[in-house]
Structure 1
Amino acid sequence: MHLLPLMFGILLLPEASTLRCYECIPGASGTCTQTIKECPQGQQCTAKRVVTYTGGSKDDDENTKECAMAEECGEYSINYGFYQIIINNKCCTSELCNTQPAPEPSKSTPNGKQCYYCDERTCTNTVNCDGIEDYCFSVTGQSGTMKGCVSNQSCTAEDQSWTCCEGNFCNAASSFSASLVLLAAPLLSLLVISY
Protein backbone atom coordinates (compact mmCIF):
# COMPACT_ATOMS: atom_id res chain seq x y z
CA MET A 1 0.00 0.00 0.00
CA HIS A 2 2.80 2.44 0.90
CA LEU A 3 4.90 1.27 -2.03
CA LEU A 4 2.76 2.99 -4.67
CA PRO A 5 3.12 6.56 -3.22
CA LEU A 6 6.87 5.95 -2.81
CA MET A 7 7.24 4.93 -6.46
CA PHE A 8 5.29 8.00 -7.65
CA GLY A 9 7.40 10.21 -5.40
CA ILE A 10 10.62 8.88 -6.90
CA LEU A 11 9.34 9.17 -10.46
CA LEU A 12 8.08 12.72 -9.95
CA LEU A 13 11.12 14.07 -8.14
CA PRO A 14 12.74 16.93 -10.03
CA GLU A 15 15.90 15.87 -11.77
CA ALA A 16 19.03 17.34 -10.22
CA SER A 17 20.16 20.13 -12.48
CA THR A 18 23.72 20.42 -13.70
CA LEU A 19 25.52 23.68 -14.23
CA ARG A 20 26.47 24.64 -17.78
CA CYS A 21 29.82 26.40 -18.21
CA TYR A 22 32.01 27.59 -21.02
CA GLU A 23 34.90 25.29 -21.79
CA CYS A 24 37.99 26.42 -23.64
CA ILE A 25 41.21 24.45 -23.20
CA PRO A 26 44.03 25.46 -25.58
CA GLY A 27 45.53 22.79 -27.78
CA ALA A 28 49.05 22.54 -29.14
CA SER A 29 48.55 25.68 -31.24
CA GLY A 30 47.70 27.71 -28.12
CA THR A 31 44.19 28.55 -29.34
CA CYS A 32 40.86 26.96 -28.50
CA THR A 33 37.27 27.00 -29.58
CA GLN A 34 34.88 27.91 -26.79
CA THR A 35 32.12 25.35 -26.23
CA ILE A 36 29.40 24.81 -23.62
CA LYS A 37 29.78 21.90 -21.23
CA GLU A 38 27.53 20.44 -18.55
CA CYS A 39 29.60 20.13 -15.39
CA PRO A 40 29.46 17.06 -13.17
CA GLN A 41 27.24 17.48 -10.11
CA GLY A 42 28.89 19.66 -7.43
CA GLN A 43 31.30 21.47 -9.76
CA GLN A 44 31.46 25.17 -10.59
CA CYS A 45 32.40 27.19 -13.66
CA THR A 46 35.94 28.54 -13.70
CA ALA A 47 38.21 30.79 -15.69
CA LYS A 48 41.78 29.78 -14.95
CA ARG A 49 45.08 31.48 -15.68
CA VAL A 50 48.38 29.65 -15.22
CA VAL A 51 51.56 31.76 -15.36
CA THR A 52 55.03 30.20 -15.13
CA TYR A 53 58.32 31.94 -14.42
CA THR A 54 61.85 30.67 -14.98
CA GLY A 55 64.63 32.58 -13.26
CA GLY A 56 62.13 35.32 -12.35
CA SER A 57 61.07 35.95 -15.98
CA LYS A 58 57.61 35.04 -17.25
CA ASP A 59 57.86 32.29 -19.85
CA ASP A 60 54.27 31.04 -20.23
CA ASP A 61 50.77 32.45 -19.69
CA GLU A 62 47.81 30.15 -20.40
CA ASN A 63 44.07 30.86 -20.07
CA THR A 64 41.41 28.15 -19.85
CA LYS A 65 37.70 27.88 -19.06
CA GLU A 66 36.20 24.72 -17.61
CA CYS A 67 34.42 23.06 -14.67
CA ALA A 68 36.14 22.73 -11.28
CA MET A 69 35.59 21.56 -7.72
CA ALA A 70 35.16 24.35 -5.14
CA GLU A 71 38.45 23.44 -3.43
CA GLU A 72 40.33 24.17 -6.68
CA CYS A 73 39.15 27.80 -6.73
CA GLY A 74 41.41 30.67 -5.70
CA GLU A 75 45.02 31.67 -6.23
CA TYR A 76 47.91 29.37 -5.43
CA SER A 77 51.59 29.07 -6.12
CA ILE A 78 54.48 26.58 -6.18
CA ASN A 79 58.05 27.91 -6.20
CA TYR A 80 60.89 25.47 -7.01
CA GLY A 81 63.56 28.18 -6.54
CA PHE A 82 64.42 28.57 -10.22
CA TYR A 83 60.92 27.76 -11.52
CA GLN A 84 57.57 29.08 -10.24
CA ILE A 85 53.94 28.34 -11.16
CA ILE A 86 51.18 30.76 -10.10
CA ILE A 87 47.53 29.87 -10.76
CA ASN A 88 44.45 32.08 -10.48
CA ASN A 89 41.33 29.92 -10.64
CA LYS A 90 38.33 32.32 -10.63
CA CYS A 91 35.13 30.33 -9.98
CA CYS A 92 31.42 31.20 -10.21
CA THR A 93 28.19 29.29 -9.69
CA SER A 94 25.62 30.64 -12.14
CA GLU A 95 24.81 29.39 -15.62
CA LEU A 96 27.55 30.25 -18.19
CA CYS A 97 29.15 32.72 -15.77
CA ASN A 98 32.78 32.11 -16.79
CA THR A 99 32.68 34.49 -19.76
CA GLN A 100 35.70 36.65 -18.81
CA PRO A 101 39.26 35.34 -18.54
CA ALA A 102 40.79 35.13 -15.08
CA PRO A 103 43.02 38.08 -14.16
CA GLU A 104 46.75 37.52 -14.14
CA PRO A 105 47.88 36.07 -10.81
CA SER A 106 49.82 38.50 -8.68
CA LYS A 107 53.61 38.08 -8.85
CA SER A 108 54.34 39.28 -5.36
CA THR A 109 57.42 40.43 -3.55
CA PRO A 110 59.22 38.23 -1.01
CA ASN A 111 57.16 37.72 2.16
CA GLY A 112 60.04 36.99 4.59
CA LYS A 113 59.64 33.19 4.51
CA GLN A 114 62.63 31.15 3.34
CA CYS A 115 62.84 27.51 2.26
CA TYR A 116 65.37 25.13 0.79
CA TYR A 117 65.18 24.16 -2.88
CA CYS A 118 67.06 21.62 -4.96
CA ASP A 119 69.13 21.97 -8.10
CA GLU A 120 71.09 19.32 -9.99
CA ARG A 121 73.71 19.02 -7.21
CA THR A 122 72.20 19.81 -3.82
CA CYS A 123 69.12 20.65 -1.78
CA THR A 124 70.90 23.30 0.32
CA ASN A 125 69.94 26.26 -1.90
CA THR A 126 67.67 28.86 -0.32
CA VAL A 127 64.70 30.62 -1.91
CA ASN A 128 62.76 33.66 -0.67
CA CYS A 129 59.07 32.82 -0.80
CA ASP A 130 56.70 35.25 -2.55
CA GLY A 131 53.27 36.56 -1.59
CA ILE A 132 50.94 33.69 -0.63
CA GLU A 133 53.72 31.08 -0.44
CA ASP A 134 53.53 30.59 3.31
CA TYR A 135 54.76 26.98 3.56
CA CYS A 136 57.90 25.06 2.64
CA PHE A 137 57.46 21.72 0.87
CA SER A 138 59.42 18.60 0.08
CA VAL A 139 58.34 15.85 -2.28
CA THR A 140 60.30 12.68 -2.93
CA GLY A 141 59.54 10.42 -5.86
CA GLN A 142 61.25 7.62 -7.73
CA SER A 143 63.56 10.13 -9.44
CA GLY A 144 64.59 12.12 -6.38
CA THR A 145 63.55 15.06 -4.22
CA MET A 146 62.15 18.51 -4.97
CA LYS A 147 61.82 21.32 -2.41
CA GLY A 148 60.66 24.93 -2.33
CA CYS A 149 57.86 27.31 -1.28
CA VAL A 150 54.17 26.66 -1.66
CA SER A 151 50.83 28.28 -0.84
CA ASN A 152 48.55 26.50 1.59
CA GLN A 153 46.00 25.63 -1.09
CA SER A 154 48.64 23.97 -3.28
CA CYS A 155 49.93 22.03 -0.31
CA THR A 156 46.55 20.60 0.63
CA ALA A 157 45.64 19.85 -3.00
CA GLU A 158 48.67 17.67 -3.67
CA ASP A 159 48.83 13.97 -3.00
CA GLN A 160 50.21 12.42 0.17
CA SER A 161 53.80 12.32 -1.11
CA TRP A 162 54.04 16.08 -0.46
CA THR A 163 55.27 17.18 2.97
CA CYS A 164 54.49 20.77 3.93
CA CYS A 165 55.69 22.72 6.96
CA GLU A 166 55.45 26.30 8.28
CA GLY A 167 58.81 27.37 9.75
CA ASN A 168 61.73 28.90 7.84
CA PHE A 169 63.91 26.14 6.35
CA CYS A 170 61.64 23.48 7.86
CA ASN A 171 62.00 21.38 4.68
CA ALA A 172 65.44 20.27 5.90
CA ALA A 173 68.20 20.23 3.34
CA SER A 174 69.85 17.06 2.15
CA SER A 175 72.14 16.37 -0.75
CA PHE A 176 70.71 14.83 -3.86
CA SER A 177 71.40 14.42 -7.52
CA ALA A 178 68.66 15.17 -10.04
CA SER A 179 67.84 16.89 -13.27
CA LEU A 180 65.07 19.04 -14.66
CA VAL A 181 63.24 15.82 -15.51
CA LEU A 182 62.27 15.73 -11.82
CA LEU A 183 59.97 18.67 -12.44
CA ALA A 184 57.77 16.54 -14.66
CA ALA A 185 56.01 14.58 -11.89
CA PRO A 186 55.14 17.54 -9.61
CA LEU A 187 54.13 19.73 -12.55
CA LEU A 188 52.02 16.99 -14.09
CA SER A 189 50.39 16.38 -10.72
CA LEU A 190 49.55 20.09 -10.38
CA LEU A 191 48.14 20.31 -13.90
CA VAL A 192 46.05 17.16 -13.47
CA ILE A 193 44.63 18.48 -10.20
CA SER A 194 43.97 21.89 -11.67
CA TYR A 195 42.14 20.51 -14.74
Structure 2
Amino acid sequence: MHLIVLIFGIVLLPEAYPLKCYECLLGSSGTCTDTEVQCPSSSHQCGVLRIASYAGGTELVNVQGKSCALPDQCIEGSINYGIARTVITSKCCTSELCNTQPAPEPSKSSPNGKRCYHCDGQQCSATLNCAGNEDHCISATVTAGGAKAVLKGCASEQICLGIKNPQMKSFIEGEISCCQGDLCNSASSTSAGLLLLVAPLISLAMFS
Protein backbone atom coordinates (compact mmCIF):
# COMPACT_ATOMS: atom_id res chain seq x y z
CA MET A 1 0.00 0.00 0.00
CA HIS A 2 2.75 2.42 0.95
CA LEU A 3 4.53 1.64 -2.32
CA ILE A 4 1.38 2.46 -4.32
CA VAL A 5 0.99 5.79 -2.50
CA LEU A 6 4.66 6.61 -3.17
CA ILE A 7 4.32 5.82 -6.89
CA PHE A 8 1.18 7.97 -7.19
CA GLY A 9 2.95 10.78 -5.37
CA ILE A 10 5.89 10.71 -7.76
CA VAL A 11 3.64 10.58 -10.84
CA LEU A 12 1.40 13.41 -9.68
CA LEU A 13 4.18 15.73 -8.50
CA PRO A 14 4.46 18.78 -10.76
CA GLU A 15 7.57 18.85 -12.92
CA ALA A 16 10.11 21.44 -11.80
CA TYR A 17 10.23 24.11 -14.48
CA PRO A 18 12.70 27.03 -14.56
CA LEU A 19 11.30 30.28 -13.23
CA LYS A 20 10.69 33.43 -15.19
CA CYS A 21 12.38 36.42 -13.58
CA TYR A 22 12.87 40.09 -14.24
CA GLU A 23 16.29 41.05 -15.56
CA CYS A 24 18.03 44.36 -15.95
CA LEU A 25 21.65 45.38 -16.22
CA LEU A 26 23.51 47.34 -13.58
CA GLY A 27 23.62 51.02 -14.47
CA SER A 28 25.52 53.99 -13.14
CA SER A 29 22.19 55.67 -12.34
CA GLY A 30 21.23 52.79 -10.06
CA THR A 31 18.12 52.05 -12.14
CA CYS A 32 17.29 49.66 -14.96
CA THR A 33 14.42 48.67 -17.24
CA ASP A 34 12.92 45.26 -16.43
CA THR A 35 12.61 42.55 -19.06
CA GLU A 36 11.26 39.02 -18.51
CA VAL A 37 13.70 36.13 -18.95
CA GLN A 38 13.52 32.36 -18.54
CA CYS A 39 16.07 31.08 -16.06
CA PRO A 40 18.53 28.49 -17.38
CA SER A 41 17.55 25.80 -14.87
CA SER A 42 15.13 24.96 -12.07
CA SER A 43 17.98 25.51 -9.61
CA HIS A 44 17.92 29.25 -10.29
CA GLN A 45 15.90 31.71 -8.27
CA CYS A 46 14.91 35.31 -9.00
CA GLY A 47 17.34 37.78 -7.49
CA VAL A 48 17.96 41.48 -6.92
CA LEU A 49 21.34 43.02 -6.21
CA ARG A 50 22.73 46.34 -5.00
CA ILE A 51 26.39 47.36 -4.89
CA ALA A 52 27.33 50.52 -3.00
CA SER A 53 30.90 51.80 -2.66
CA TYR A 54 32.10 54.59 -0.39
CA ALA A 55 35.28 56.58 0.11
CA GLY A 56 35.16 58.33 3.45
CA GLY A 57 31.65 59.75 3.68
CA THR A 58 31.23 60.01 -0.09
CA GLU A 59 29.24 57.51 -2.10
CA LEU A 60 31.17 56.51 -5.23
CA VAL A 61 28.84 53.87 -6.68
CA ASN A 62 25.28 52.74 -6.03
CA VAL A 63 24.06 50.40 -8.74
CA GLN A 64 21.31 47.83 -8.91
CA GLY A 65 20.48 44.76 -10.94
CA LYS A 66 17.95 41.97 -11.34
CA SER A 67 18.34 38.51 -12.85
CA CYS A 68 18.15 34.77 -12.33
CA ALA A 69 20.58 33.67 -9.64
CA LEU A 70 21.76 30.51 -7.94
CA PRO A 71 21.14 30.46 -4.18
CA ASP A 72 24.84 30.89 -3.35
CA GLN A 73 24.93 34.09 -5.41
CA CYS A 74 22.50 35.80 -3.03
CA ILE A 75 25.07 37.25 -0.68
CA GLU A 76 25.20 39.95 1.97
CA GLY A 77 28.65 41.24 2.71
CA SER A 78 31.26 43.94 2.40
CA ILE A 79 34.92 44.47 1.68
CA ASN A 80 36.85 47.34 3.22
CA TYR A 81 40.23 48.52 1.95
CA GLY A 82 40.42 51.50 4.29
CA ILE A 83 40.19 54.23 1.67
CA ALA A 84 37.19 52.55 0.04
CA ARG A 85 34.46 50.18 1.28
CA THR A 86 32.04 48.25 -0.93
CA VAL A 87 28.81 46.77 0.44
CA ILE A 88 26.78 44.16 -1.42
CA THR A 89 23.14 43.48 -0.56
CA SER A 90 20.98 41.00 -2.42
CA LYS A 91 17.78 39.02 -2.04
CA CYS A 92 16.45 35.93 -3.78
CA CYS A 93 12.89 34.59 -4.08
CA THR A 94 11.38 31.41 -5.49
CA SER A 95 8.17 32.36 -7.30
CA GLU A 96 7.50 33.57 -10.84
CA LEU A 97 8.61 37.17 -11.50
CA CYS A 98 8.98 37.78 -7.77
CA ASN A 99 12.04 40.06 -8.02
CA THR A 100 10.07 43.24 -8.48
CA GLN A 101 11.46 45.26 -5.58
CA PRO A 102 15.05 46.60 -5.48
CA ALA A 103 17.64 45.14 -3.14
CA PRO A 104 17.72 46.79 0.30
CA GLU A 105 19.95 49.75 1.02
CA PRO A 106 23.09 48.85 3.02
CA SER A 107 22.63 49.18 6.76
CA LYS A 108 25.03 51.14 8.92
CA SER A 109 27.78 48.99 10.40
CA SER A 110 29.73 49.41 13.62
CA PRO A 111 33.29 48.20 14.36
CA ASN A 112 33.25 44.54 15.41
CA GLY A 113 36.62 44.36 17.19
CA LYS A 114 38.54 42.58 14.42
CA ARG A 115 41.60 44.27 12.84
CA CYS A 116 43.37 43.73 9.53
CA TYR A 117 46.23 45.37 7.68
CA HIS A 118 45.40 47.80 4.88
CA CYS A 119 47.41 49.87 2.42
CA ASP A 120 47.95 53.53 3.24
CA GLY A 121 50.06 55.43 0.73
CA GLN A 122 52.95 53.21 -0.37
CA GLN A 123 52.84 50.93 2.68
CA CYS A 124 50.43 48.20 3.73
CA SER A 125 51.31 48.19 7.42
CA ALA A 126 48.46 50.38 8.70
CA THR A 127 45.71 48.70 10.71
CA LEU A 128 42.01 48.85 9.93
CA ASN A 129 39.04 48.26 12.23
CA CYS A 130 36.64 45.83 10.56
CA ALA A 131 32.90 46.52 10.72
CA GLY A 132 29.62 44.65 10.50
CA ASN A 133 30.09 41.03 9.42
CA GLU A 134 33.65 41.53 8.13
CA ASP A 135 35.20 38.54 9.91
CA HIS A 136 38.11 37.84 7.52
CA CYS A 137 41.24 39.68 6.41
CA ILE A 138 41.89 39.84 2.68
CA SER A 139 45.10 40.16 0.65
CA ALA A 140 45.37 40.52 -3.11
CA THR A 141 47.99 41.12 -5.74
CA VAL A 142 45.98 42.04 -8.81
CA THR A 143 46.39 43.32 -12.33
CA ALA A 144 43.50 45.23 -13.87
CA GLY A 145 43.52 47.75 -16.67
CA GLY A 146 47.27 47.27 -17.12
CA ALA A 147 48.06 48.34 -13.54
CA LYS A 148 49.38 46.04 -10.82
CA ALA A 149 48.70 46.69 -7.16
CA VAL A 150 48.48 45.18 -3.67
CA LEU A 151 45.15 45.32 -1.84
CA LYS A 152 44.59 44.54 1.84
CA GLY A 153 41.69 44.98 4.21
CA CYS A 154 38.65 43.42 5.86
CA ALA A 155 36.04 41.22 4.17
CA SER A 156 32.91 39.25 4.99
CA GLU A 157 33.00 35.46 4.76
CA GLN A 158 30.60 35.44 1.81
CA ILE A 159 32.87 37.80 -0.12
CA CYS A 160 35.80 35.46 0.49
CA LEU A 161 33.76 32.50 -0.71
CA GLY A 162 32.78 34.49 -3.80
CA ILE A 163 36.41 34.97 -4.78
CA LYS A 164 36.18 31.53 -6.40
CA ASN A 165 33.48 32.86 -8.75
CA PRO A 166 34.63 32.41 -12.39
CA GLN A 167 33.47 35.96 -13.17
CA MET A 168 35.89 37.32 -10.59
CA LYS A 169 38.76 35.22 -11.94
CA SER A 170 38.10 36.31 -15.52
CA PHE A 171 38.14 39.99 -14.52
CA ILE A 172 41.26 40.01 -12.35
CA GLU A 173 44.66 38.51 -12.94
CA GLY A 174 46.40 37.81 -9.67
CA GLU A 175 46.28 36.08 -6.33
CA ILE A 176 43.54 36.77 -3.78
CA SER A 177 43.34 35.11 -0.39
CA CYS A 178 41.44 35.45 2.87
CA CYS A 179 42.39 34.48 6.40
CA GLN A 180 40.89 34.57 9.89
CA GLY A 181 42.56 36.09 12.92
CA ASP A 182 43.63 39.62 13.79
CA LEU A 183 46.23 41.06 11.38
CA CYS A 184 46.63 37.73 9.60
CA ASN A 185 47.10 39.43 6.19
CA SER A 186 50.74 40.37 6.80
CA ALA A 187 52.01 43.86 5.96
CA SER A 188 53.75 44.65 2.65
CA SER A 189 54.40 47.61 0.36
CA THR A 190 52.66 49.19 -2.67
CA SER A 191 49.00 50.18 -2.73
CA ALA A 192 46.16 50.47 -5.23
CA GLY A 193 44.07 53.20 -6.80
CA LEU A 194 40.34 53.60 -6.24
CA LEU A 195 39.39 51.99 -9.55
CA LEU A 196 41.10 48.75 -8.57
CA LEU A 197 39.32 48.80 -5.23
CA VAL A 198 35.79 49.14 -6.61
CA ALA A 199 35.65 47.46 -10.02
CA PRO A 200 36.56 43.89 -8.95
CA LEU A 201 33.71 43.84 -6.43
CA ILE A 202 31.19 44.79 -9.08
CA SER A 203 32.43 41.92 -11.24
CA LEU A 204 32.41 39.55 -8.29
CA ALA A 205 28.84 40.26 -7.29
CA MET A 206 27.07 40.35 -10.68
CA PHE A 207 24.59 37.54 -11.19
CA SER A 208 25.54 35.24 -14.06
* TM-score, L = length of structure 2: 0.77
CA separation in 2, counterparts of 1:89 and 1:29?
A: 18
1:172 is aligned to 186
Structure-2 change in CA distance of 1:59 and 1:129 (3 Å): same
Backbone CA RMSD of aligned residues: 2.3
Matched residue SS, 1:118: strand
2:18 is aligned to 18
Question: Where in structure 2 are there 5+ consecutive unaligned residues?
Answer: 1-13, 170-174
Structure-2 change in CA distance of 1:151 and 1:71 (3 Å): same
* TM-score, L = length of structure 1: 0.82
CA separation in 2, counterparts of 1:59 and 1:119?
A: 19
1:84 is aligned to 85
Native 8 Å contact 1:119 1:179 kept in 2: no
Native 8 Å contact 1:107 1:130 kept in 2: no
CA separation in 2, counterparts of 1:29 and 1:136?
A: 31
Match of 1:79, as an amino acid?
N
Report how far residue 125 of structure 1 moved. Answer: 1.7
CA separation in 2, counterparts of 1:28 and 1:181?
A: 14
Native 8 Å contact 2:28 2:62 kept in 1: no
1:11 is aligned to none
Report how far residue 191 of structure 1 moved. Answer: 4.3
Structure-2 change in CA distance of 1:146 and 1:97 (3 Å): same
Aligned partner (choices 136, 148, 156) of residue 151 of structure 1: 156
Structure-2 change in CA distance of 1:177 and 1:71 (3 Å): closer
Match of 1:131, as an amino acid?
G
Report how far residue 16 of structure 1 moved. Answer: 5.5
Give the share of equivalent positions with the same residue, in percent.
Answer: 52
Matched residue SS, 2:123: coil
Report how far residue 165 of structure 1 moved. Answer: 0.9
CA separation in 1, counterparts of 2:26 and 2:130?
A: 30
Question: Where in structure 1 are there 5+ consecutive unaligned residues?
Answer: 1-13
1:139-164 superposed Cα distances (whole Å, 9 cap, x missing partner): 11241310000000000110383211
